[in-house]
Amino acid sequence: MSSEVNVNSGGMYGTSPRKPLTALLLSVCPGLGQHYAGHLKRGILFYITLIVASWLAAIAFMSIQSKLSIIFLCVPFVGVGLIALDAWACARRQPRDYRLQWFNRPWIYAVVFTALLFTVNPLLDFLVGQKVVRAFFMNSISMSPTILDSDIVLVNKLAFPKRGEIALIKFGKSKPSAKLTELIDDQLIKRIIAIPGDTLEIRNDVVWVNGQKIDDPYAHFKGVLRFNSAQRSSFGPKLIPSGSYFVMGDNRNESIDSRILGFIREDQIGGTATKVFWSWNFDEGGIRWERTAKSLK
């Protein structure tokens, strides 16, 4: 009879040696290798620690204005590797007649893996993604050259954007008009140009706020105008109402923004875009390494 069910020699659940390679492979779900190796609490602690450390690393990466912040991107991968090695070591230290515990059952491993995959992980992603940091995939050139098509941008949801900073705009089901429903996504990335109480005017593509021509080094006019040019090159003067903001894309010719959409409500602003996390050049089939960890201004 297999040692897995040898009740007489190993107690209620039998005995079985712990295989280091199995513990290593089970660590594809961090902590499950320790679970298999007989260290249930250790596995749970490592899993929670990895989740917390990964999100703290994401916040640090997003907040530090230096290319050196890229080291924080390594935290999840290094953490998973160390946890896997620890599981391997835990399994090696167990005796060949390791007495199986109540949690050493294949079906329990499957339940734990499934529960983490479909409940805990999505819940943490939802809570942190809604309140702390969110990745946004750019699929237009409306913010180029500051943000390129296919950039993955990190949005700091803890920071409300100031004048001149880049904001995540959330429309959801409340898009400005049926005409624009198919032209814009539920979420956009634009720059805050004017805030409540400002008076804004655009004259021949030059932006004036409170009677002063703004320093506008990010403005570019590349591509074909998608709407009436007069509507884009001239606007106002208009007073920005309380609780509203005027936003524009850096690539003025290709941007559907407040010149077309109107003012953006405060509750539609979902955070400040601070950094390029990753960038892929689909035309050339390669990674734009020079844009990784690039701070956005």
The tokens for 238 are 């208009």
Q: What percent of the chain has pLDDT over 70?
A: 84
Q: How far apart are CA 267 and CA 51, in angstroms?
A: 29
Q: Pick the last residue of a domain from 102, 131, 160.
A: 131
Q: For the chain, what is the total number of helices (H) and then of strands (E)? A: 9, 13
Confidence tier at 128 by pLDDT (50, 70, 90): low
**CATH number for the domain harbouring residue 138:** 2.10.109.10
Give the closest residue to 154 by CA, choosing from 141, 168, 165. Answer: 168
pLDDT confidence of residue 86: 97
Q: Are residues 124 and 140 in the same domain?
A: no
205: left (phi over 0), alpha (psi -120 to 50) or beta: left
Q: Are 69 and 156 contained in the same domain?
A: no
Range of the domain at 122: 3-131
What are the residue numbers of the active site?
142, 190
166 and 82 assigned to the same domain: no
Give how far Cα 130 sits from Cα of 19, 118, 120, 228, Å: 40, 18, 15, 36
**Predicted confidence band of residue 129 (pLDDT cuts 50, 70, 90):** low
Q: Could you report the per-residue pLDDT of 196-250, keeping only the tens digit for each?
A: 999 999 988 899 999 999 988 899 887 666 555 556 678 889 999 999 999 999 9
Sheet containing strand 235-239, edge to edge, reads: 212-213, 206-209, 199-203, 235-239
**Are 35 and 103 spatial neighbours (Cβ–Cβ below 8 Å)?**
yes
Tokens of 47: 């899993």
The answer, as to whether pTM is greater than 0.85, is no
pLDDT digits (tens, 9 = 90+) for 31-55: 999 999 999 999 999 998 998 888 8
pLDDT tens digits for 176-208?
Answer: 554 454 456 678 999 999 999 999 999 888 999
Q: What residues does 151 pair with on adjacent strands?
A: 279
Q: Same domain, yes or no, for 158 and 261?
A: yes
Give every CB contact of residue 44 below 8 A, 6+ residues apart in sequence. 31
Tally of domains in the chain: 2
Mean pLDDT for 93-118 is 88
